[in-house]
Amino acid sequence: MSASRSVQLPRLLSRAAKLATPATARLAAIRASARQMSTARVSTRSNGLRTAPFVRARQYSSKSYPEHQLVGMPALSPTMTQGNVGQWQKQVGDRIEPGDVLVEIETDKAQMDFEFQEEGYLAKILAPTGTKDLGIDSPVAIIVENEADVAAFADYSPDAKAEAAPVQEAAVAKEEAKETAAPAKASTSSPVESGDRIFASPLAKMLAKEKNIDLAQVKGTGPRGRIVKADIEGFVAPVVEKAAPAPAAKAPKAAAKAAPAAPSVSAGYTDIPLTNMRKVIATRLTEAKSTIPHYYLTQNITMDNVNKLRKSLNSAANGLYKLSVNDFVIKAAASALRDVPDVNSSWQGEFVRQHHHADIAVAASTPAGLITPIVRTCDAKGLKAISSEVRDLVTRARANKLKPEEFQGGSFTVSNLGMFGISSFSAIINPPHAAILSVGTTETKLVLDEASEKGFKAVENMSVQLSADHRVVDGATGALFLKAFKGYLENPLTMLL
């Protein structure tokens, strides 16, 4: 009897291996299919220049709808978490060629064109023009390969379809469930772990990383406790959960989404909804002021020679250009950064990056809020080039037409409120820059002058203040920068050397 069993055992093992092979192959094929994502490239409006961000457009199919691609809201900048939908350049039924502009997207800083990089037909617009605060990856449109399939989506509704997870992911979850003999936990349980592995969708992992959320603390609601996007967005820190039960914690979130009620006639206020730009400004400046160790240095500069040179150059321009005091300030700052490169640096967390050129961000006020377009390589440009570029950037910034690379990055910031009559102010550092120069107005003051018969003379005086990051720039280094900056403005011809 034992001999018979020993003979049959290899046969049974061989048969089990053959049966297991097709299932493994099927699982690998399903996983490979789920990883294949078609992409739509996003580009800026100007000259059709393409930028780095991509947006995923997943393939779907079901019994009621033909195969199609669900296109999501793209992330067009590092700070963008949501966007507004502008004018659609394609209508339902229109054919789309690679590179065609699908829709305009309003980010936190600019309005950009969204170019689709595949062929197909626009079957459904899920986010019409005017849609506000649409989160990243939220569905905006449906694309199909065949024109005949467009009509099938006439009554399509995302809520009815419930396509939050693609068919491929569902299949993967089903196959993974067969691989383990352990019983599946409840949907509200902690995420299933295999050794050190936590099951979470790629999008959930990305959002958790951006928000510094530990996946081990998140309760998954997907198959087998898998963490999905909704779990990350609705995650509440454990300390908060102890203060209030989970169902009650959802109520404030729902209330926050509701539009503010219109004030009564007797109310003495008006609630103004926040724009994307205002939200980003609030977040970044709060973070900068609370995490960067600011210190401030003030310097008074005699502007007589600058004013004389400016007047002379503008008179000889014959209308070709018109230099402003701010143009001289930017050029002088670039020259001082060249002399004191430690100020031309940025804090990168684990290291300090020292920049080789003075890429100066110029604070500009727009109807939507503050934005800082960047004049690149100011140290290598003349006053005329700087003046022309500043005017162009500020004009397009106020029209919401800047490209991402025109307001992201830089190495130093200049903020000038002199045209508003402000004598001096303390600016907040624009991270990751190590310093920002705040410029006040030019005022006439009396100073002692032994060579004058009266013993004094009137001079044009301008006050500037340097806000510096003490993690990067020491006080003595900041003082050297202001000394060099003052020297260039009081003797402006040295900037031409």
Mind telling me the catalytic residues?
A: 470, 474
CA dihedral 275, 281, 283, 289 (to 10 degrees): -160
CA angle 218, 224, 229 (to 5 degrees): 45
Phi and psi at 399, nearest 5°, equal -95, 5
Per-residue tokens: 409: 């990055």
Question: Which residues fall within 8 angstroms of residue 412, CB to CB, at 6 or more apart?
Answer: 333, 337, 343, 344, 358, 359, 360, 361, 433, 434, 435, 436, 437
Q: What does each C-alpha distance from 148 to 144, 153, 207, 214 come to in angstroms? A: 9, 11, 37, 46
Tell which phi-psi region holds residue 21, choosing left (phi > 0), alpha (psi between -120 and 50) or beta.
Answer: alpha
Look up residue 381 and give its amino acid: K
Q: Quote the radius of gyration of the chain (alpha carbons, Å).
A: 30
Helix (H) or strand (E) holding 473: none
CB 473 within 8 A of CB 295: no
String of DSSP letters for 316-358: TSTTS----HHHHHHHHHHHHHHH-TTTSEEE-SSSEEEPSS-
Helix (H) or strand (E) holding 300: strand 294-302
Question: What's the rounded Cα separation, in Å, for the pair 290 and 98?
Answer: 45
Per-residue tokens: 220: 């998954």
Question: What's the rounded Cα separation, in Å, for the pair 150 and 66?
Answer: 9
Helix (H, G, I), strand (E, B) or coil at 285: helix
Could you tell me which of 37, 80, 77, 22 has the C-alpha nearest to residue 201? 37
Scan for tokens 């609630």, then name that residue. Answer: 271
By CB atoms closer than 10 A (0-12, 13-18, 19+), residue 55 is buried
- CB neighbours of residue 275 within 10 Å: 17
